[in-house]
Amino acid sequence: MKSGNFDFMLLARFGSPVVQLKDICVEFFGYQPKTAEQKAKAGTLPIPTFKTRDSERAPTLVNVTDLSNYLQSQYEQGRELWQSVNG
């Protein structure tokens, strides 16, 4: 699957090139929002996050292209493992 396909699917699903971390953290990273926020502040999530203003109350955001690239990378790793096992 090409990264552009992930981009398209995520844009169609969320209707925006930017989504709030709290809206994707459980599904894509397995973290509850509070944990995801802590990891974002520490810079330990597998993708970059940002805020549009310098405020604790501002939502933490994710660019869907970064999410797409991460998903593509995870897919490729999984596919390589599968191919090595299943030939």
pTM across the whole model: 0.89
pLDDT for 1 beyond 90 = no
Q: DSSP letters along the chain, please?
A: --HHHHHHHHHHHHSSSEEEHHHHIIIII---HHHHHHHHHHT-SSS--B-SSS-TTSPPEEEHHHHHHHHHHHHHHHHHHHHHHH-
Note the pLDDT tens digit of each residue in 28-44.
Answer: 999 999 999 999 999 99
Q: Is residue 2 over pLDDT 70?
A: no
Whether the pLDDT of residue 3 is over 70: the answer is no
Cα R_g (the chain), whole angstroms? 14
